[in-house]
Amino acid sequence: MGGEGQLSSGGGHRLAPGGGLRILNTVRAFVEWHGLFGAGDRLLLTVSGGRDSMALLSIAQRLRPCPLAVAHCNFGLRGAESDADEELVRAYCAAHGLRLHSARFDTLAHAERERQSVELAARSLRYAWFAQLVAEHGYTRVATAHHQMDQAETILMNMARGAGLAGMRGIPLRNGWVVRPLLCLSRRDIDAWCAELAVPYRDDHTNAQRVYTRNYVRHEVLPRLEVVKPGAVARLAALGDYAGEAYETLRLESEAVFGPMDGEGGFSLRLTSPGYLAHRGLARFWLRGRLASLGFSAGQVDDVLRMVDGGAQTGKRVEGPAHRALMLRGTLAVEPLQEAGEELEICSPGLVGPCHIRVLSLHEGEDWRGMVGDGELAMDASRVSFPLRLRRWRAGDRFCPLGMGGKSKKLSDYLTDRRVSGARRAGVEVLISGGQIACVLDSRHIAEWAAVRPNTERLLLVTIFS
């Protein structure tokens, strides 16, 4: 087996029919069947210097499907060992005439600056760099060395944290320009390839430390599963294929009923609609994916589904990192959260931020009070008209509270009078029409000029969800 930094090309080695040749043909068939890369592509191989990535490089050299280049990241996390990894890759590429792109990162500084784990920081740095190489050099595919053991670990860990069918797909075979041609190989296959061809590689000693969850699953959980049920790792990896097929089928079916699953904006789902009533299971599947695409965690998604299933009362909500899911009279509405300093424009009735707005016409002699729902504020729609604006209060704002005879006062004084202070005071929002404050949301207090009058013909009704 290739040792610590010992270089050996193995380029002229005749492959054993039951060993290296079988492995090479397995990868070749896998790549061709899934169309991962081929003639006309420019392939960039991500190579760390470890056993898996050096096996990927060696196999790709044998396949030679298209022009090859190598990308190596030195994250500087293991001092001299990281430098030795880079030197191994650099020497191998020089010996085989392969173009090498290498980059060094201050991973710890990036993790601290972005408030990320070291693992997440390293991932974000390398994929951002790969994207840069793709853009600058015209690579059409970027190959990583994930294999069946990596797939089994990922699926098992996703299942343990309740990731559902989406998590059971594991590591995707392709993700944009990223492809994973070794997902057809076992750990034993890669070991056998490196041994037969004397592929040089370096072992990262941190991969053997059980303190990391993935390492514990790799070295403790999966081997014991193999003892109990031989072939468990391969079957777990295959489960990713089956889950992927099922997921795509359900995705297509649910999108045909409820619309695209991915997207940045908000959406609403009426729980009394024929589509929802006829396809509740599909709706739950679609909601999981749609909410996940907006950054809701698995726990938050479950909270939303419980809210939907339980027929939660109007105003019940779950807040994600950038959106809130809100129950509103039998409809699940998901809207972006308002950031500090942001001003939202409201051009028509509906749900915006913490408000739901509707407009009703009054018939002659009709008592408007009977048209106002519980918790709704009523204003004269001819005075409070679209477009409205919703924002946090600002120094210098003035307000004419209903009941003060049309007199205005500084909003800061109004809030002080009502003993609104601290974080609550900073978050007070106001609804503005025509440059004037029509309503203070925190106190649910409307302005004198916006109030309903005897000659009011249209009502603007506002529900505020605190």
Both 161 and 79 in one domain: the answer is yes
Dist. CA 459–CA 399, nearest whole Å: 21
In this structure, are residues 293 and 300 in contact, taking their beta carbons and an 8 Å threshold? no
Residue 255 — φ and ψ, nearest 5°?
Answer: -70, -30
Both 214 and 305 in one domain: the answer is no
Dist. CA 327–CA 333, nearest whole Å: 6
Handedness of CA 363, 369, 373, 377 (dihedral sign): positive
Both 363 and 329 in one domain: the answer is no
Query: Where is pLDDT greater, at 206 or 280?
Result: 280
Q: What is the pLDDT of residue 279?
A: 93
Both 57 and 116 in one domain: the answer is yes
* pLDDT tops 80 at residue 365: no
Supply the mean pLDDT for the chain.
88
10 part of a folded domain = no
Both 330 and 362 in one domain: the answer is no
Both 348 and 326 in one domain: the answer is no
pLDDT band at 323 (very low <50, low <70, confident <90, very high): confident
* pLDDT tops 90 at residue 266: no
Pairing type for strands 141-143 and 178-179 reads parallel
325 part of a folded domain = yes
Both 98 and 222 in one domain: the answer is yes
Q: What is the mean pLDDT of residues 105-130?
A: 90
Both 105 and 121 in one domain: the answer is yes
Both 100 and 235 in one domain: the answer is yes
Both 370 and 231 in one domain: the answer is no
State the CB neighbour count (10 A cutoff) for residue 300. 19
* pLDDT tops 60 at residue 253: yes
* pLDDT tops 70 at residue 319: yes
Closest CA to 66 of 183, 189, 179: 179
Dist. CA 342–CA 47, nearest whole Å: 44
226 part of a folded domain = yes
What CATH number has the domain bearing residue 454? Answer: 3.50.40.10
Both 169 and 49 in one domain: the answer is yes
6 part of a folded domain = no
What CATH number has the domain bearing residue 100? Answer: 3.40.50.620
Of 5-19, 107-121, 289-303, minimum mean pLDDT range? 5-19
Dist. CA 320–CA 300, nearest whole Å: 7
**Tens of pLDDT, residues 399-425:** 999 988 888 899 999 998 888 877 778
Cα-based distances in Å from 424 to 326, 354, 375, 430, 441: 21, 15, 20, 13, 12
Q: What is the pLDDT of residue 7?
A: 30
Question: Encoding tokens for residue 231?
Answer: 């072939």
Range of the domain at 279: 272-336
Q: Which of 140-144, 244-248, 276-280 has the highest mean pLDDT?
A: 140-144
443 part of a folded domain = yes
Dist. CA 426–CA 438, nearest whole Å: 19
**Tens of pLDDT, residues 204-225:** 877 767 767 888 888 899 999 9
Domains of the chain: total? 3
**Tens of pLDDT, residues 67-92:** 999 999 999 888 899 999 999 999 99
8 part of a folded domain = no
Both 147 and 197 in one domain: the answer is yes
* pLDDT tops 90 at residue 10: no
Q: What is the pLDDT of residue 161?
A: 81
pLDDT band at 101 (very low <50, low <70, confident <90, very high): very high
